[in-house]
């Protein structure tokens, strides 16, 4: 028996004894009016005592539950919530790619090599912690931490699929006022915050390298509500983002990233419109990005982009989501320019690579248990900039079944077409079966 149950039992027994002690006069009734009056008074008194005992039990139960919640909370006695998804991804590939379990590019290979592969991994398992309840400067303070096991692995050839190592995905420390929110953490780019639905590709979101600028980066973000137009709620957002270019300067001794060489944060801003609530919430955003990348000297090059993103519920069972962008030198955001920052000019000298891209996914939810859909994404560098990878297109179709309780099962079919300046277009296909539990 738990301590809470034992305490409740003792209080209940004490209340019973009190009722029994109060009842002796009931057996002494006679037929006189005075006796009946006395009996009624005693019954009223008994009912009052019983009501007080029940109220005391309810109060004690609430206090004990509150203490139990605090005991499972943080050092500051704020309650915490633990959630996650234990997921196995079994896959079968036809064609070559840069990564067997979560491919983002097709790669050319000599005809002599076998182009079939298959396996299974648990490294897209995710765990999350959230804490709330504290107050600071008149705001609600909350925290969120999310990790997976996509950070690498031990051992040799193929070892990336064995003994996967933890990796920090998202971390947020937030202060929320009535019309504003301050977030310090690591999160999706404010330029392109929408993510596709699916279970086959969560270590890298679907369409990474093919129109999805996804890379989770350290940042400080401020969101300010600016009013409403009927059902639409408007907000302005701005962010200082850690500099990152996903490249190094040739010959740099300590191999510092070219974004960090600039010593300047990236700047992002977004105008957001939202409507609806919960599953029927829609969102459209228009955003901009600018940053600086270091060179071998003291000069810098500009990384910049404009983008639009959307989540649009077309019906109670139908949703469209996606993003589109145009910019240059966007590899530091997770795959702009098909993973490239530089092209070549007429003299074969490196120049900033211009790029357009985006993705669109449509999801159907006929009921709470099923989600089905599909989509495509594309990254298209400007051919005049002579990129080595000229185009990357990824398409997928998926079905997810949550039968009730913990289990979740997903099936996804994916095809990637990558066009190279020298090797032409190569393809890879994957069938991915995801099986696990969510809690």
Encode pLDDT of 344-382 as tens digits.
988 888 899 999 999 999 999 999 999 999 999 999 999
Tell me the per-residue pLDDT of 250-295, one tens digit each, with 9 for 90 and over: 777 778 889 998 999 999 999 999 999 888 899 999 999 999 998 8
Which tokens go with 227? 């009013």
Residue 346: strand, helix, or coil: coil
Give residues with Cβ within 8 angstroms of 363, minimum separation 6.
197, 318, 319, 320, 321, 371, 372, 373
Which tokens go with 355? 């790029």
pLDDT at residue 8 tops 50: no
**Percentage of residues of the chain with pLDDT beyond 70:** 84
List the chain domain ranges: 3-70, 72-438
User: Measured on CA atoms in the order 248, 253, 255, 261, is the torsion positive or negative?
Assistant: negative
Find out whether 42 and 80 touch, Cβ atoms under 8 Å. Answer: no
The rounded distance, in Å, linking the Cα atoms of 42 and 129 is 55
pLDDT computed for residue 295 by the predictor: 85
Which tokens go with 180? 């504003």
Residue 300: strand, helix, or coil: strand
Rounded to two decimals, the pTM is 0.80
Q: Which CATH superfamily, name and number, covers 72-438? A: Porin (2.40.160.10)
DSSP 269-294: EEEEEEES-GGG-EEEEEEEEEEEEE
The rounded distance, in Å, linking the Cα atoms of 199 and 205 is 9
Which tokens go with 402? 């949550």
Which tokens go with 74? 């943080």
- What are φ and ψ of residue 48, in 5° steps? -65, -45
- How many residues does this entry show for the chain? 439
């Amino acid at each position: 028996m738990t301590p809470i149950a034992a305490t409740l039992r003792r209080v209940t027994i004490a209340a019973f004894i009190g009722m029994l002690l109060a009842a002796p006069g009931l057996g002494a009734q006679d037929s006189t009016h005075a006796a009946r009056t006395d009996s009624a008074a005693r019954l009223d008194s008994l009912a009052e005592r019983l009501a007080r005992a029940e109220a005391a039990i309810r109060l004690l139960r609430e206090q004990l539950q509150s203490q139990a919640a605090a005991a499972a909370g943080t050092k500051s006695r704020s309650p915490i919530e633990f959630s996650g998804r234990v997921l196995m991804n079994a896959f079968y590939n036809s064609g070559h790619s840069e990564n067997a379990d979560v491919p983002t590019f097709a790669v050319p290979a000599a005809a002599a090599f076998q182009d079939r592969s298959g396996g299974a991994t648990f490294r897209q398992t995710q765990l999350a912690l959230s804490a709330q309840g504290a107050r600071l400067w008149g705001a609600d303070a909350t925290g969120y931490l999310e990790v997976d096991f996509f950070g690498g692995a031990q051992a040799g050839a193929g070892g990336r699929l064995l003994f996967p190592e933890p990796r920090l995905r998202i971390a947020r420390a937030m202060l929320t006022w009535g019309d504003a929110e301050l977030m310090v953490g690591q999160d999706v780019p404010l330029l392109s915050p929408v993510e596709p639905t699916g279970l086959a590709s969560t270590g890298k979101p679907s369409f990474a390298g093919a129109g999805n600028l996804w890379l989770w980066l350290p940042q400080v973000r401020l969101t300010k509500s600016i009013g409403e137009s009927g059902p639409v709620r408007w907000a302005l957002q701005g962010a200082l983002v850690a500099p990152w270019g996903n490249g190094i300067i040739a010959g740099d001794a300590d191999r510092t990233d070219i974004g960090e060489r600039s010593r300047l944060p990236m700047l992002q801003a977004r105008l957001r419109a939202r409507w609806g609530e919960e599953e029927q919430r829609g969102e459209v955003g228009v955003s901009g990005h600018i940053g600086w990348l270091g060179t071998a000297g003291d000069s810098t090059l500009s990384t910049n982009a404009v983008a639009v993103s959307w989540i649009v519920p077309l019906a109670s069972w139908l949703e469209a989501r996606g993003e589109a962008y145009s910019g240059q030198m966007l590899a530091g955001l997770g795959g702009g320019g098909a993973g490239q920052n530089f092209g070549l000019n007429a003299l074969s000298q490196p120049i900033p690579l211009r790029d357009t891209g985006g993705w669109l996914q449509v999801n159907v939810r006929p009921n709470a248990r099923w989600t089905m859909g599909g989509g495509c994404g594309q990254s298209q560098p400007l051919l005049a900039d002579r990129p080595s990878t000229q185009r990357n297109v990824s398409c997928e179709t998926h079905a997810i079944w949550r039968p009730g309780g913990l289990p979740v099962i997903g099936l996804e079919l994916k095809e990637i077409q990558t066009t190279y300046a020298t090797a032409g277009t190569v393809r890879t296909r994957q069938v991915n079966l995801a099986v696990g539990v969510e809690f």
